[in-house]
Structure 1
Amino acid sequence: MPLKVMAQLAFDGDCRQAFEWYAEVFDGEIAVMNSLGGTPGVPLPPGSKSAAPEYIRYAEVRLGDSVLLGNDVPADEFRPMQGFNVALHARSVTEATRLFEALAEGGRVQAPLTRMPWAPRFGQLVDRYGTPWLILALDE
């Protein structure tokens, strides 16, 4: 099997809401949504510590051929996401615009979706859950 790289996002108690929203925005499918309280007897990964039972231990949403992973972390260990972007390469300007507008709702636009020399559209934002996105349209 070839190497697969997937982003795993950390949340401060709102992983479930974020992943339900991502599934809706991307027309994806939640494949796994395990809470700490919903998986009794399953040990935590090494180095992890327990949190509220409604916190998500592991979430997976399938977005076409891609997978986005996530989990909640205890409040005293949570750090806002920074130093990276989740890059989305949309097939068209129409798709890029729809995704950008949906993810920007309740979030913060860092660079508006604009025509660039290397792409029909490019923009950056941080969504309402703190996830940083870079959106690029591949074609008009």
Structure 2
Amino acid sequence: MNTAPQLAFAGDCRQAFEFYARLMGGVITVMNTFGANEDKALPPGSTAAAPDQVRFAELSLGHSVLRGNDVPPDQHVPMQGFSVSLHIEGANEARRIFEALSEGGTVTTPLAEVDWADRVDLVDRFGMVTDRFGVPWLVLAVKG
């Protein structure tokens, strides 16, 4: 078994996934639009977004996968109640990614050394940010 977050966007899934791929060195393995898949049935309870909107996207990030899609703007609910946790090797790389995610977003907890790091052998820094696409992230710098 494995898990993969599935994020719902209000029309900017493509922009978000292209940004994440560049930022994190990932590879977009799937980017299907509603218009290119009109002949395929939607899952029960789903509503099609505009033809140019993303029906399904998948981003490979090392051994992890991030999935996403667009929903009609009137059906979009802001993401809450979870965070996507990034465990990044090295404080400098964690800082680079955290700062990029922060641009146009909201920092909840600045990336900083944590007083509990000495009790958690692998963690060096921790921060929380919601990016400009509305995705909440936990960024942890882990020791290599």
TM-score normalised by length of structure 2? 0.92
Greater percentage in helix: 2
SS in 1 for 2:36: coil
Instruction: Report what 1:11 is aligned to.
Output: 9
Counterpart of 1:132, as a letter, is P
Query: Which amino acid counterpart does residue 113 of structure 1 have in structure 2?
Result: L
- In 2: Cα distance, 1:77 partner to 1:40 partner: 20
Between the two proteins, the alignment pairs up a number of residues equal to 138
Aligned residue number for residue 130 of structure 1: 134
| Amino acid in the other structure paired with 1:120 | D
Q: Secondary structure at the match of 2:17?
A: helix
Aligned equivalents of 1:103, 1:67: Cα separation in 2: 18
Q: Give 5+ residue unaligned stretches, structure 2.
A: 118-122
* d(CA) in 1 for partners of 2:60, 2:124: 26
Aligned to 1:52: 50
- The residue identity in structure 2 corresponding to 1:45 is P
Q: CA deviation at 1:76?
A: 1.9
Report 1:1-140 matches (<5 A).
Answer: 3-116=1-114, 117-118=116-117, 119-139=123-143
Provide the secondary structure at the position in 2 that maps to 1:21: helix
After the TM superposition, which segments of 4 or more aligned residues of structure 1 sit over 6 Å from their partners?
none
User: Quick one: distance in 1 between partners of 2:107 and 2:34?
Assistant: 33
Output the CA distance in 2 between the equivalents of 1:50 and 1:90. 35
Structure 2 distance, partners of 1:105, 1:10, is: 20
Distance in structure 2 (CA, Å) of the matches to 1:107 and 1:130: 8
Q: Percent identity?
A: 54
TM-score by length of 1: 0.95
The 2-side partners of 1:63 and 1:36 are apart by 24
Bigger CA drift: 113-122 or 130-139? 113-122
Counterpart CA distance in 2 for 1:59 and 1:26 is 16
Local SS of the residue matching 1:43: coil
